[in-house]
Amino acid sequence: MVNYWAIAIGINQYENFQPLTYAERDAQAMQHVWAMEGGIPIEQCFLLSDNATPDGSSQPAPNRDTILDLLTDVCQHRLCPDDVLWLFFSGYGAQYQNKDYLLPMDAEPTRIPATAIAVEDLFGILQAAPTRNILTLLDMNRSQGTLGGEGAGAQTLELAQHLQLPVILSCRPEQFSHETLLLRQGLFTSVLLEGLRSYGCLTPEQLAQFLRNRLPELSEHHWRPRQDPAVVIPDQQRYQLLLPGKSRPSEAHSSADEDGVLQSPEPPVAPLPPPPPPDMGNGTAPSEEQVPVEDEKTWQKLLLFGGLTLLALLALVVVRNGEIVTRPTTTRPSPGTQETLPPSPSVPLGESGTEAAPQPSPTDSGTPSPTVQPEPIPAAPQNPELPPVGSGGDDSSGKNDLAATDRDRQILDSARATLTRFRSDAPTNQVSEIGEAIRQLRQIPPGNPVYAEAQQSLDRWSAMIFDIAIGRAARQNGGDSVIAAQNYQAAISAAQLVPSDRPETYRAAMRSITVWSQKTMDLANLNASQGALGLAIQVANYVPPNTPAYAEAQRAIATWQAQVQPLPGTQQTAEVPPQ
């Protein structure tokens, strides 16, 4: 009997690194899909994260010893041959002296080998397990500011290839893994969940192919630098069933298309049996001479029924349109004469607002022919916010609506093109372009076909601004309080651009502005308490106006300036405490 096991590790709150936002949420989501949707018993799905489990029970913190103890226990004492193990890690990763490390909660930047988990040690534990069916998913390279983040993953891929272990990394070694407020998850985890839930990715090969296709697309959609998964899957594990209760794809009959995408084998379709011969009432089948006679009678019945139906439809048309058919006909005016007709909504207008002359039909031979006037169509109510279309004030409502829709579609496309045109590899440089795109979308008034689509873009782009602000506040500062204050100021500047008519995102942005302005003031007070008044003044000056801590900052600056009497031509310096 095959048993299924799973370990999810997600770390937000690091003791010595900037916190992550959604790593813990990623791990919780993976545990949920394994246990509640994938059929793995909940007691065989282990979760290590910062906080208590959703039911309020306590759990060990994801420090180095706890992670290694759990892995060793599962691999050495619980797994049996042919069992399946998922291992998911969401958190920081680092490269130190050409070796890859996973950073547990208690990792120290100055003691990486002693406090982090070397990937080669992790793989050694997995290699010693009695089963080869272990899929390792590592989202370990999430920030450009992490110590040694660049290049992390290269050794991991080499070791996985050498040891023949199935491993999927969230990005290539030269890329960075991202999380976003819009999804409230890492991009890698979002695609994993989508593949398992919606697309039935039940084998490592299917999951890897889905990640290769979907992850770059999702990073592009959220205006993030391209993110591609890095995959190592040995042939013998390529079609291993990952979740219980599902049918295993046949490795012998599975095939791949020209792009390498796995094609699940289709069950053979049995040919339909021939229909039984019709009963003639005496238990015998009709002879070959009898069949054409029956067919001929059937066709006669069908022709008769069809003819009657057609006659009925023609009669209905004549009755309903009798008034139109008997209406007096209108002929074209002779050359040199002018036709005068009473204004009618059914007559199209020319560019000057007058009625357009009727156009001859392609079959016109020069003889005036009767024209049938269509029933007038009631005009749709005009939106007072829309500018007039064309120069004719009496243009038809349908033409006006169509032109307005085209115009608003052009506005929406232009706003999207603005973001695409200015998008660069640094996503934190896009706030002004997003603001310009939002300004363009506000030209689309309510009641138009593209209005709802524009509002969805406004919601997404507003959340994107706040997401960028969070990223700015989380930048590394290297222990420099001035750099930290600059980061908070940049984050506040971005968050202040969140539109107030997006209430949920706006409230979250305002709360963050309060926190970031107060953190800047706390840095200033810390420097002042250590006697570095000049540095305290410099930091306090980064508290922006119109923030809750601005008044406090201005009072403190005035107090500290009164206490500082620098010598002419000198500048006070102080050692900056580590942040």
pLDDT in tens, the chain (579 residues): 899 999 999 999 898 888 888 899 999 999 999 999 999 999 999 999 987 454 445 577 899 999 999 999 999 999 999 999 999 999 999 999 989 999 999 999 899 999 999 999 999 999 999 999 999 999 987 654 555 556 789 999 999 999 999 999 999 998 888 888 778 889 999 999 999 998 888 899 999 999 999 999 998 887 778 899 999 999 999 999 999 865 444 433 333 333 333 333 333 333 333 333 333 333 333 333 333 334 444 445 555 656 666 666 666 655 555 544 444 444 444 444 443 333 333 333 333 333 333 333 333 334 333 333 333 323 333 333 434 433 344 445 555 666 767 777 787 777 766 665 544 444 444 677 777 778 888 888 887 778 888 888 888 888 888 888 887 887 767 778 999 999 999 999 989 989 888 888 899 899 999 999 999 999 999 999 999 999 999 999 999 998 999 999 999 999 999 887 654 554 544 444 444
Residue type, 8: A
Q: Beta strands 167-169 and 230-232: pairing type? A: antiparallel
| Cα→Cα distances 455→215, 423, 434, 461, Å | 25, 21, 14, 10
Count of other CB atoms within 10 angstroms of residue 331: 11
Instruction: Report pLDDT digits (tens) over 373-404.
Output: 333 323 333 333 434 433 344 445 555 666 76
How far apart, in whole angstroms, are the C-alpha atoms of residue 450 and residue 411?
10
Interatomic CA distance for residues 425 and 467, integer angstroms: 16
Q: Which helix (H) or strand (E) holds 559?
A: helix 550-563
- DSSP per-residue codes, 538-554: HHHTTS-TTSTTHHHHH
Residues with Cβ within 8 Å of 341's Cβ and at least 6 positions away in sequence, in order, are: 330, 347, 355
**How far is residue 326's CA from residue 102's CA, in Å, rounded to a whole number?**
87
Name the 3-class secondary structure at 226. Answer: coil
* Residues 395 and 349: beta-carbon distance below 8 Å: yes
First-to-last CA distance in the chain? Answer: 53
Q: Are 151 and 174 contacting, i.e. CB atoms less than 8 angstroms apart?
A: yes
The tokens for 269 are: 């379709």
Query: Taking Cα atoms as reference points, which of 324, 395, 319 lies closest to residue 356?
Result: 395
pLDDT in tens, 224-245: 788 999 999 999 999 999 998 6
- Report how far residue 557's alpha carbon sits from residue 552's, in angstroms, rounded to the nearest whole number: 9
Q: How far apart are CA 330 and CA 409, in angstroms?
A: 40
pTM for this predicted structure = 0.56
3-state percent helix, strand, coil for the chain, nearest multiple of 5: 45, 10, 50
**CA–CA dist 314, 181 (Å, integer):** 62
* H-helix segments, 74-186: 112-115, 119-127, 154-163
% of the chain with per-residue pLDDT over 90: 41
Question: How many residues are recorded in the chain?
Answer: 579
Element (H, E) at 312: helix 290-320
Tell me the three state secondary structure of residue 218.
Answer: helix
Confidence at residue 66, expressed as pLDDT on a 0 to 100 scale:
95
Per the CB < 8 A criterion, the answer to whether 173 and 157 are in contact is: yes
Q: How far apart are CA 235 and CA 226, in angstroms?
A: 28
Q: Where are the alpha helices (DSSP H) in 321-347?
A: 322-325
Residue 85 pairs with which residues in a beta bridge? 5, 134
Cα dihedral sign for 345, 348, 353, 359? negative
Q: What is the pLDDT of residue 323?
A: 46
Contact yes or no for 385/448 (Cβ under 8 A): no
The DSSP secondary structure of 465-531, one letter per residue, reads: HHHHHHHHHT---TT-HHHHHHHHHHHHHHHTTS-TTSHHHHHHHHHHHHHHHHHHHHHHHHHHHTT
* 159 CB-contact burial (10 Å; exposed 0-12 / middle 13-18 / buried 19+): buried
Q: Do 75 and 126 touch, CB atoms closer than 8 A?
A: yes
Could you tell me how far CA 444 lies from the centroid of its own chain? 24
Each residue of 118-143: pLDDT tens digit? 999 999 999 999 999 999 999 987 65
SS (H, E, C) 349-362: ECCCCCECCCCCCC
pLDDT tens digits along 451-504: 888 888 888 888 888 888 887 887 767 778 999 999 999 999 989 989 888 888
Angle of the 431-441 helix axis to the 451-473 helix axis, nearest 10: 160
Are 437 and 415 within 8 A, CB to CB? yes
Residue 180, H or E segment? strand 179-180
Q: What are the angstrom distances between the C-alpha of 186 and each of 93, 182, 190, 191, 565?
A: 14, 10, 6, 9, 51
